[in-house]
Amino acid sequence: MAFLTPLALLGGLLAVPIILLYMLRLRRREVVVSSTFLWQQVVRDSEANTPWQKLRRNLLLILQLLILALLVLALMRPFIVVPAVSAGQIELLLDASASMNATDTPDGITRFEAARAQALSMVDTLGAGDTMTVIRVSNVPEVLVPRTGDANLLRQAINAMQPGQAAADWVAAFTLAVADAAGAQDFNLVVVSDGGLGAAEGLPGVPGTVRYLPVGQSGDNLAITALSARALPGQPPQLFAQITNYGAQDAAVIFDLRVDGALHSAERLTVPAGSSLPVISTDLPADFQTVQAGLTLPAGAVVPDYLALDDRAWTVNSTGGERRVLLMSAGNLFLEQALRSLSGIEAFQGDPTRPLPAEAYDLYIFDGWLPADGVLPQGDLLFINPPQDTSLFKVGAESSETGAISVLSNDARTAFVDFGSVNILKFRPVTADWATPLVSAAGGALLLAGETDGRQAAILTFDLHDSDLSLQITWPILMANLMDWFTPRSAVNVPDGLHVGDSLSVRPPAGATQVRVTLPDGGVRDLPVERGTVVFADTNAPGLYLVDLLAGEQVLQAAAVAVNLFSPLESAIAPREQITLSGATIQPAAPDAVGQQEFWPLAALLALVVLLVEWWAYQRRMQAPTVFQPIFRRPKVIAR
C-alpha cells in the first residue's frame, strides 16, 4: 500500500493537544454529602494540588485518538496498484442507444445499467495523473463531463446518465471524442457498448488506442419493423405490418391492433427464427385516424423478448383534402394537362380579364399574367414567364443566351430533371435575392425557387410555348417535384411517420401564431411562428405526437404524427463479440493497464462511525451518576 499525500501524516501531531487536555486537573464543584465513606476514591483524587493529574485509561480519549488516526489516514489517500482497462487520457464513449434498454443481463438490469457500472469501475481505478472525458452516445452525442481527473464529478455525471430511445450516431460520437483529445499525443478511446456501431465502422484513420468493453448476452428479440396504412382511390384502407424475429428460435407472439384507441383485433402468430413475417389487414374503418400495433408474449412462451421498446408502433391515416390550385392563364394546354395528371390537386381555371377570386387557394399559378393592382395573394406562388416586376422580384431584358444549361442536381425540386435535350428560344432573366437558381443558362436563371414572407414561390422565366420543355418527359417530373415542394395538403405532411430523433417540419398556414406539440407522455411544447417553416426536434420517444396550429387559442389545423424506432441496427440486439473500426478488428479489452484503487472513502466512513460511538459514550457519562455507575466529572466532596 502507498499514499498519494503522505505529508498528511503530520496531522497526527494533533494527538498531543488531545492528550494534554485529558491530563489537565479538572475543576471541582462543591457538593455537601453526609459521609465520605462511599467517596474515598474522590477524596484521594482531591488530595492532589498540582494542576496536572496522572493520565488514566479513558474510553473517550481512545475513541478520539482513533477518530484522528482514521481522518489522517483518509487525508493521506492510501491506495493499492490494481489492473485497469485504460490509463492516461481517456475518452469514454458510453452507449445510450435504444438497444441498451435490453434486459438480458444476469441480474435482470438493463444493458445500460451494466455499462454504467463498468464506467464507474473505470473511474475507481483512475491514477493520480489520469483524466477522463465522458461522452453519452445517442442520436445526438454530448459531452457530459469535459476532460477532468475529479472522480466525484465523473461519478455524478455517470450516475445521472439515462439511456435514450433512438439509434446512436457513432460517427458524430467518434468525431466529438477525437476533437476533445486534439493536441494529445497519446489517448485512449474506450467504447462501452453492445457493439452496433453502424456506419462508424467505415471511419478511416481513427487516432488513439480504441478499447472495447462489451455488454449484453442474448439476441432474442421480437420487433415491429414496419407499419403503414394506405388506401387506393375507391377502395377501403389497408394496413401493412412486419414482425421480425431477431433470435435463433421460432417465437410465438400475439399481434394486436388498436384503432383510435379501441382494440380492433388480436391474433397469435409464429415468427420464424431470423426472419420477418408480413401481416396485412383489410378491415380498417374508412375514417380511422390512428392505429397502434403491439406485440405480447403468450402465456408459457419459451422464447424471451428482451427489448420492449420496439414492441409498439403507430401509424396515422394519411388521406386528406386536396390542395386547391388556381390557374390564371390565357390558355395553356400543357399546364392544364400536367395539373390533371397529378394526384391530390383540385385545379380551378381563373379568368385573366377579371381580378382574382375572393376565396383563398393553396397555390396560385400565374402564366404570363399578374394582378393589375400588383397585390399578390397570400399563398404559394408559381410564376411562368412573368411580364413585369413585382414586390418579390425584378424582370430583366429579354435574352436569347439559352445555351450551356445546368441543373442543380442535389435539390429535391430538380430530382430526375434533365434539361440536356430541352431547347429554349428566349427568356427574361429574373432577379430575386430570396430565390435559389435551380436551372441556369448562359444568360441567367431559367428556374428559381425559395421562401419569402412565409410562403413558397417558384419562377419559370420563359414561356412554355417558346420551348419544347412541355414535350419532354422532364416536364411532368418537374411539375410533380414542384407540387410536392409547395405547401402540402396539411401543414404537417409525414404520411410514413418519423424515426425517433428525426426533426418534424411544420409549415403553418397564414394567420397561425403558434405551433403546439403534445408529446406521447402528455408533455406540451409551444413553438412561436416567426417566419416560414417551424422545426420541432424533440422527438426522442416513440409514440403519437399531436400537432395543433393555433391563431391565438383558435385551432386552425390539427394533425397526428407517428414516431417509431424502426431501426434494424437497434432491434438486432445480439451483442458483438468484437467491433470493426478503421479496418481493424478490436477484441474486448483486458485490464492490462495500471490503475490505483483508493481507500480514503472507507477510512472516512470508519471515522464517522467511531465519532457516533464516541458521542454515544459521552452521552452515557453525562447521565446522573449512581453508586454503581462511574462518573466522568466527579464533584468536590465536603463532609459535614
**What confidence score (pLDDT) does residue 292 get?**
96
Cβ proximity of 444 and 428 under 8 Å: no
Average pLDDT, stretch 193-218?
A: 86
**What confidence score (pLDDT) does residue 297 get?**
95
Alpha-carbon distances, residue 403 vs 247, 248, 406, 433, 535 (angstroms): 60, 62, 9, 24, 39
**Which amino acid, one-letter code, is at 332?**
N
Angle at 560 between CA 554 and CA 562, to 5 degrees: 155
**What confidence score (pLDDT) does residue 96 get?**
95
The span from the CA of 215 to the CA of 105, in Å, is: 8
Which CATH superfamily hosts domain 222-316?
Answer: Immunoglobulins (2.60.40.10)
Lowest-confidence pick of 24-28, 38-42, 333-337:
24-28
Beta strand segments in 411-465, E: 430-431, 435-441, 444-452, 455-460
Angle at 558 between CA 480 and CA 364, to 5 degrees: 35
Which span out of 264-268, 324-328, 550-554, 587-591 was modeled with the highest average pLDDT?
A: 264-268
Average pLDDT, stretch 572-587?
A: 87
**What confidence score (pLDDT) does residue 555 get?**
87
Confidence of residue 488 (pLDDT cuts 50, 70, 90): low
Percentage of the chain surpassing pLDDT 70? Answer: 83
**What confidence score (pLDDT) does residue 182 get?**
80
* Phi and psi torsions of 318, nearest 5°: -90, -5
Confidence of residue 506 (pLDDT cuts 50, 70, 90): confident
pLDDT at residue 456 greater than cutoff 80 = yes
**What confidence score (pLDDT) does residue 6 get?**
66
**What confidence score (pLDDT) does residue 85 get?**
55
pLDDT at residue 623 greater than cutoff 70 = no
**What confidence score (pLDDT) does residue 455 get?**
81
**What confidence score (pLDDT) does residue 457 get?**
93
pLDDT at residue 490 greater than cutoff 70 = no
Confidence of residue 32 (pLDDT cuts 50, 70, 90): confident
**What confidence score (pLDDT) does residue 594 get?**
45
Confidence of residue 639 (pLDDT cuts 50, 70, 90): very low
* Phi and psi torsions of 244, nearest 5°: -120, 135
DSSP code of residue 26: P
**Nearest residue to 525 (alpha-carbon basis) of 512, 534, 538:** 538
Domains 86-218+575-589 and 498-564 share a fold: no
pLDDT at residue 407 greater than cutoff 70 = yes
**What confidence score (pLDDT) does residue 627 get?**
47
- Residues whose CB is less than 8 angstroms from the CB of residue 524 and which lie 6 or more positions away in sequence, other chains included: 516, 517, 518
Per-residue pLDDT reduced to its tens digit, 260-278: 999 999 999 999 999 999 9
CATH of 323-485, one of 1.10.443.10, 3.30.540.10, 1.10.275.10, 3.40.50.880: 3.40.50.880
Average pLDDT, stretch 70-99?
A: 75
pLDDT at residue 233 greater than cutoff 50 = yes
The span from the CA of 417 to the CA of 438, in Å, is: 10
pTM across the whole model: 0.64
pLDDT at residue 632 greater than cutoff 50 = no
Per-residue pLDDT reduced to its tens digit, 115-155: 999 999 888 888 777 889 999 999 999 999 998 988 889 99
Lowest-confidence pick of 61-65, 471-475, 537-541:
61-65
**What confidence score (pLDDT) does residue 54 get?**
63
DSSP string, 327-393: EEES--HHHHHHHHHSTTEEEEEE-TTSPPPSS--SEEEEES---TT-PPPSSEEEEES--S--SS-
- 3-state class of 206 per DSSP? coil
Higher-pLDDT residue of 351, 38: 351
Higher-pLDDT residue of 134, 493: 134
**What confidence score (pLDDT) does residue 73 get?**
73
DSSP string, 540-551: -S-EEEEEEEEE
Residue matched to cell numbers 431559367: 446
pLDDT at residue 48 greater than cutoff 70 = no
Cβ proximity of 102 and 573 under 8 Å: yes
- 3-state class of 72 per DSSP? helix
Average pLDDT, stretch 241-267?
A: 95
pLDDT at residue 636 greater than cutoff 70 = no
What is the total residue count of the chain? 640
pLDDT at residue 510 greater than cutoff 80 = no
Per-residue pLDDT reduced to its tens digit, 351-393: 888 888 888 888 899 999 999 888 898 888 999 999 999 999 9
Average pLDDT, stretch 49-77?
A: 71
Cβ proximity of 209 and 221 under 8 Å: no
Residue matched to cell numbers 430570396: 434
**What confidence score (pLDDT) does residue 84 get?**
47
Per-residue pLDDT reduced to its tens digit, 384-400: 999 999 999 999 999 99
pLDDT at residue 93 greater than cutoff 90 = yes
Q: CATH says 86-218+575-589 is which class?
A: alpha beta
**In the chain, what is the straight-line distance between the N-terminal and C-terminal CA atoms, in Å?**
63
Confidence of residue 544 (pLDDT cuts 50, 70, 90): very high
Cβ proximity of 601 and 79 under 8 Å: no
Cβ proximity of 545 and 518 under 8 Å: yes
pLDDT at residue 165 greater than cutoff 90 = yes
The span from the CA of 254 to the CA of 297, in Å, is: 6
Cβ proximity of 407 and 438 under 8 Å: yes
CATH of 498-564, one of 1.20.1250.20, 3.40.190.10, 3.30.465.10, 2.60.40.1930: 2.60.40.1930
Q: Would you list the domain boundaries of the chain?
A: 2-79+600-639, 86-218+575-589, 222-316, 323-485, 498-564
- 3-state class of 23 per DSSP? helix
Beta strand segments in 496-564, E: 498-499, 504-506, 514-518, 524-528, 534-536, 543-551, 554-564
As a whole number, the mean pLDDT across the chain is 83
**What confidence score (pLDDT) does residue 107 get?**
83
**What confidence score (pLDDT) does residue 526 get?**
93
